[in-house]
Chains A and B, each alone.
Chain A
């Protein structure tokens, strides 16, 4: 019996917020397609409630037996825009509502996949789904949506970018909380277990289990114990910690998959913060020697953190996938909220940070008066970073009607609160309104 190792594991869980952030069951809905979306919606409800019936019970049993918290139980499904079948007027909100009812019936926290992948162009069904987003997100509670507008191999669909700037405004106009459930991606991955961007790609199997781990507090504590360490020692410490954290994701995912009788797919090697104390990615960067997140040096610190997490985690799991990296959502990270409220971090700095970490401009509240074309410009910038650098990027911004810089929006619980951040007030409308597609970058031509 290795007492020190046992003690270390227990302290990681009880004091440093190590947890399995999510067990996400991917479910293909391709076999639910019929000639009309209303019938399809009924089949979707039946399939999800049959296949995921035991997901929450199994996750709860694992948490009880092994003593590690499993914070979220979720489902990702085939991008819904692909499920229109031959229906000339697809009723996509009916599918969203069926997904919502199914999620509630099996008691999962969220269900992702109300999605369209339009990086190379939109089908009529894609356009119908995108236009349905305000209604679908307003009439459901647990449904998450995403639209992939660009890819390194396809370029950037600027017509879709233009459309999404307005859709984000329309979604927020009903209730800004709904905008938390909508992500606009470039290079979206098909096995991401994290919300709101999870969907289950068409190249995946019928069903599988994916896990996402998290332990920013574990990494922060390990680094705080070595205030004078060199960068080599810092990276080594992060790698060792990430290995241990990722092993939990591998172990729990494997046990869950066995008990559910479905394949185990991937571990997402992630550092995902929550607003809880000592569960902050920004705090790790500050522990590395920055007075506050946003200080010059922040991008370099995040780059080394992100890289070391991957290097440490990659050997811990049979298959690694998802977004795999450090997340920097503003409103879900206590130290990020503090830096934003104090004006120490800006959207421009966050954009730079997204070039070296997982995903993008995430959970950022912006003034309600921000024009749709400006939001489209932000989406295009973020997508360009992803497309040119061969990585996933995303935008999840929340225009808050009637609020401006200096004010705050409260989301509650794990979603935290967000200070309204300043957006450059230049005009991008002529650029955004040109229409068409920005072609794929030269380095995408690898054949």
Chain B
């Protein structure tokens, strides 16, 4: 299952490290990544592949918990919904 993970929050040291370390621990493979600072807000988007046996809800919960710990908002959604809205 391919997913889009977005991380938004106030910029500070170590956000990418914390998120990617967590993804590695969850055996989630990153396929693409983009990161910018928009109007002072740290914004990162990742396209990632969940392992076949992964429990989506468990991954989501772990990422949201991590976001709460480091003070950023982490969202995860299956990638198909973004294609559905924007691609013919």
Contact = CB atoms under 8 A, between A and B. Distances in A.
A169 interface: no
Contacts of B32: 1
A244 B86 contact: yes
Interface of B is mostly: strand
A292 interface: no
B47 interface: yes
A66 B76 CA distance: 8
A3 B56 contact: no
Interface in B16-56: 31-34, 36, 43, 45, 47, 56
A10 B6 contact: yes
Contacts of A66: 77-78, 80-81
B47 to A, nearest CB: 5
B85 A2 contact: no
Nearest to B77: A67
A434 interface: no
B84 interface: yes
A256 to B, nearest CB: 13
Nearest to B4: A6
Contact of A1 (B34, B60, B80, B84): B34
Contacts of A334: none
Contacts of A9: 81-82, 85-86
Contacts of B4: 1, 6
A64 interface: yes
Contacts, number: 57
Interface residues of A, number: 19
Interface in A1-27: 1-3, 5-10
B84 A250 contact: yes
Contacts of A1: 4, 31-34, 45, 47
A93 B32 CA distance: 58
Contacts of B60: 64
B77 A65 contact: yes
A339 B36 CA distance: 42
A180 interface: no
A65 B2 CA distance: 11
Nearest to A2: B86
Nearest to A255: B80
A5 B86 CA distance: 7
B77 A244 contact: no
A6 B45 contact: yes
B57 A2 contact: no
Contact of B82 (A6, A65, A250): A6
Q: What are the nearest 8 A-B pairs in CB distance? A: A67-B77, A251-B84, A1-B32, A66-B81, A5-B86, A1-B47, A3-B34, A247-B85
Given A65-B56, A248-B84, A248-B85, 17 more contacts: A1-B4, A1-B31, A2-B86, A3-B36, A5-B86, A6-B4, A6-B45, A7-B43, A9-B81, A9-B82, A66-B81, A67-B76, A68-B81, A250-B84, A251-B80, A251-B81, A251-B84
29 contacts: A1-B31, A1-B32, A1-B34, A1-B45, A2-B82, A3-B45, A5-B82, A6-B4, A6-B6, A6-B82, A7-B6, A7-B43, A7-B45, A8-B86, A9-B85, A10-B6, A10-B75, A64-B56, A64-B57, A65-B56, A65-B77, A66-B78, A66-B81, A67-B75, A67-B76, A244-B85, A250-B84, A251-B84, A251-B85
Interface of A: 1-3, 5-10, 64-68, 244, 247-248, 250-251
Interface of B: 4, 6, 31-34, 36, 43, 45, 47, 56-57, 60, 75-78, 80-82, 84-86
